Structure 1
Amino acid sequence: MPVKEQTAIPPIPLAGATAVRAAAGEDRGMTDAERVGLWQQRLFEAEAGMTKYLVEQHAGAALREWIGVQSAIFADLPDADVVDPGAWQRVFFRAQALMERFVVAHYGHGELAGWARANAAVHGAVERDRGGGSADVIGRVRRQAELYGSRYRVVESSPERSELLISHCSIWDYRERARSRGVPITLASPCEYCTTATSANIAARGYRPEFELLAEDGDRGCRWRASAPVREPS
């Protein structure tokens, strides 16, 4: 499914918005088991999405190189009986970095959008429908922000329209720690792929994505909104 048009969200004061709970249980953080489960799901979405993208867009090209990347992605996985969110975070981030480098090196920076759309198709198939409409869609973005320890709050929540404000995105912090461990960092900014992929995921769930990148007092963040599409009168 193609990514729907992204438009800027009208500004709201960062200090003036009131958080609204998007879904039952949002007032508690995820358990370690839930964090591990989400890291594993994100890894599956990204790797399966890449395979889907390669089959549909570049069948037969760079197969040997892709098999080598897959081998590196799944090397040294944590033991199945150990619930360690930090270990799975390292696995996912390494995989994401390797796949970004693979796409850019073989097909060009512009093809990241094609991979994002393929990922979104997988995401739309495997993400559980919790019955909350757009609150569920933004809830997934919120949980991803929580995985990295980002500062965030839900600004608006309803089945038709929900909005999330991330005042400090900790992906920026984590990628520098990963770089120091030798993880290859290809993109100048994590927002280059994240905004495309998140928009595609929201669209795959049937909602209209909007986002705005924020920078204030050294903090990098973003604002996301998912809105139900306007229905034409019958």
Structure 2
Amino acid sequence: MSDGHDPSQRPLAGPPRTALLAPPAARGEDAGPGEGGQDGTPARSPYRAMPPAERSALWRQRLHEAEAGLTRFLVSRGDEVSLTEWFALQAEIFADLPGDTADPAPWQRIFFRGQALMERFLVRRYGEPVLADWARSNAEVHREVEPDHGRGAADPVHRIARQAELYGSEYEFDDDPGPAADRAALTITHCAIWDYREQARRGGVRLTLASPCTYCTEALSANIRAKGFTPAHRLIAGPTGHGCRWEAAAPGADTPEEA
């Protein structure tokens, strides 16, 4: 897992310059709550109006990144893996897939079940520290399947925002004038993954990790690095619950240590 020398654990810099997407209204969509001000300022939470089909597609992409990353990781180890057990796990992951529907709820359920199964598979065989290696393997898949949108450091931060929106988390991009692509930042003030985990636990899903942050911080940091940027994060907790703050810095930009 992360140690004190991991760049993602560095102290965060001051207010970053953040490159933001245009509000959905500017893209011909109906703007929802928090999606851009009347004065034309960039949206602080621009994905409230993410269409159901787009949400479903992102759940599927995340499942693909995780399962393909696990396959890649197991191959890279070169040790003996019971193919029967591995095939049985894959059968569980992909059991009762939803039909041709834009409803994201079934794909959310499939993703969360698959994530829990894969975490348990790895931790039982190799121990919890191996999750960081799995995260890096997944990030190599992410590098290939996540489109580049030409926004520089804002690209991986927008991916974090889209994931946060899938869970219904509360989040905001930094509202700083002069958007730039050298550094982007996002604060999740309430991480709804914690809420969903508790719902899943009550529904009978066996959870391997005491905290979702154990894997999530490794995965997001690895994804940012895979896209060529330097990550930094800080976990936060307060009246609104668990949250975190993320930065991505472009090569050559001031790093959090240098700020």
Normalised to the residue count of structure 1, the TM-score between the two structures is 0.89
Separation in 2, partners of 1:195, 1:86: 24
Separation in 2, partners of 1:221, 1:108: 26
Counterpart selection for 1:118 from 126, 137, 140:
137
211-220 vs 99-108, greater mean Cα deviation:
211-220
Instruction: Report the CA distance between 1:21 and its aligned residue.
Output: 6.5
Counterpart selection for 2:108 from 86, 89, 104:
89
Instruction: Report the CA distance between 1:194 and its aligned residue.
Output: 0.1
**TM-align CA RMSD:** 2.2
Letter in 2 for 1:159: A
Aligned equivalent of 1:23? 21
Separation in 1, partners of 2:10, 2:236: 11
- CA offsets per residue over residues 141-200 of structure 1, 9 Å max, x none? 000000000000001553110000000000000011111111110000000000000000
121-130 vs 25-34, greater mean Cα deviation:
25-34
* Structure 2 unaligned residues grouped into runs of 5+: 25-42, 254-259
Matched positions, count? 224
Letter in 2 for 1:62: S
Aligned equivalent of 1:216? 238
Cα 1:200–1:4 change in 2 (3 A) is farther
Instruction: Report the CA distance between 1:96 and its aligned residue.
Output: 0.3
Letter in 2 for 1:99: M
- CA offsets per residue over residues 60-92 of structure 1, 9 Å max, x none? 323222211100000000002x11101100000
Separation in 2, partners of 1:100, 1:178: 15
Which one has the largest radius of gyration? 2
Q: Would the aligned equivalents of 1:19 and 1:153 in 2 still touch at CA under 8 Å? A: no
> Are positions 1:204 and 2:202 aligned together?
no
Aligned equivalent of 2:62? 42
Separation in 1, partners of 2:171, 2:120: 29
> Are positions 1:107 and 2:126 aligned together?
yes
Aligned equivalent of 1:159? 181
* Structure 1 unaligned residues grouped into runs of 5+: none
Identity rate of aligned residues, in percent? 50
Instruction: Report the CA distance between 1:10 and its aligned residue.
Output: 3.5
SS in 2 for 1:72: helix
SS in 2 for 1:6: helix
> Are positions 1:79 and 2:81 aligned together?
no
Q: Would the aligned equivalents of 1:4 and 1:208 in 2 still touch at CA under 8 Å? A: no
Aligned equivalent of 2:36? none
